[in-house]
Amino acid sequence: MCRPEYFTVSYAINPFMHPDEPTDTALAVRQWDALRDVYRGLGHEVEFLAPVPGLVDMVFAANGGFTVDGRAYLASFAYPERRPEADSFRAWFAAHGFETHEPASVNEGEGDFAFAGGVILAGHGFRSTADSHTELARVFGREVLSLRLVDERFYHLDVALTVLDSAATGGPARIAYLPSAFDEAGQALLAQRFPDSIIVSEQEAAILALNSVSDGRNVVVAQDAHDYIAALAGAGYTPVPVDLSELLKSGGGVKCVSQELRR
Ligand code: ARG
């Protein structure tokens, strides 16, 4: 995680961002501190990347790379505003024992890539390119399910889909998603591969309900996503509601600020 000490909205690269509207950096920090404490309270270890002045979106640590098996496929950001972040992430992964892989294709790490029971789910269409999916398959030697995103509000995979259970125990992975965020082929593929999914409404997806983080048991989720929270509880998960309203102004939520490390 990267503390939002320099967070604000000073440019618009997704439909949530309005640079003319005020942001409250101190509130963003308090909300982020509370999320960090939630993770620790659930027994998870949290590691930190130092924020850099001027890099206002660096709090969205999920975008800095994607890790599986101790390898890190590094990010290459789509917009020039975020490109300088990549050096910090590269240095962090290298200093923390990851085998780093330089990207030849534009990709925004865990923003568009998710690990689900041995397979990698990968989004393209707005940020990451389809070429990055080919690289992913090569770097990790795993099956990659390539999914095209079609709604600009759901510009990253991690705002359209959550992996609830990555099936570490060998059972099938379970996901939650918004079907209309994907093209027809993507919808068909998800329905076929993940028949036991939780489907989330467009209204709740629009407050970044699906930008949630699951450890297979607890799901840390936007507190206003009432139907999704009820569905999670009904499916046997423990929802852990949090408030990241300030970061929502930049189009980010729980998952965006959390890079999961798979050593
Ligand atoms: N303002 C950031 C951007 O548009 C938000 C990134 C959210 N991150 C995510 N993983 N969806 O790049």
pLDDT (tens digit per residue) in 27-79: 999 999 999 999 999 999 999 999 999 999 999 999 999 999 999 999 999 99
Distances from the Cα of 91 to the Cα of 20, 49, 101, 108, 203, angstroms: 33, 10, 12, 16, 38
The pLDDT assigned to 117 comes to 83
Q: Which single residue is written with the structure tokens 């297979």?
A: 216
Q: Which residues touch 243 (CB under 8 Å, ≥6 apart)?
A: 31, 34, 222, 223
Q: Which single residue is written with the structure tokens 């960090």?
A: 36
Structure tokens at 11: 């440019």
What is the number of residues in the chain?
Answer: 263
DSSP symbols for 32-88: HHHHHHHHHHTT---------TT-TTTT-GGGGEEEETTEEEE-B-SSGGGTTHHHH
Catalytic-role residue among 2, 101, 124, 256: 256
Q: DSSP E strands: which ranges in the chain?
A: 65-68, 71-74, 99-101, 113-116, 119-124, 144-148, 161-165, 174-177, 198-199, 213-214, 218-222, 238-242
Ligand 1 centroid to residue 149 C-alpha, Å:
15
With a cut of 70, which residues of the chain have pLDDT below it? 167-172
The pLDDT assigned to 173 comes to 87
Q: With 0.80 as the threshold, say if the pTM is over it.
A: yes
Map out the domains of the chain with their CATH numbers: 25-249 (3.75.10.10)
- The residues that bridge with 124 in the sheet, in sequence order, are 148
165 touches 187 (CB < 8 A): no
9 touches 17 (CB < 8 A): yes
226 is catalytic: no
Q: Which atom of ligand 1 is nearest to the CA of 211?
A: 11
Name every protein residue with a CB atom under 6 angstroms from any ligand 1 atom.
Answer: 13-14, 17, 57, 60, 62-63, 82, 111, 156, 158-159, 250-252, 256
Nearest partner of 6 among 170, 247, 263, 240, judged by Cα: 247
2 is catalytic: no
The interface predicted TM-score of the complex, written ipTM, equals 0.97
Q: Which residues touch 227 (CB under 8 Å, ≥6 apart)?
A: 200, 201, 204
Structure tokens at 215: 């450890």
Interatomic CA distance for residues 248 and 245, integer angstroms: 5
Ligand 1 centroid to residue 171 C-alpha, Å:
31
Q: Which residues touch 169 (CB under 8 Å, ≥6 apart)?
A: none
The pLDDT assigned to 166 comes to 77
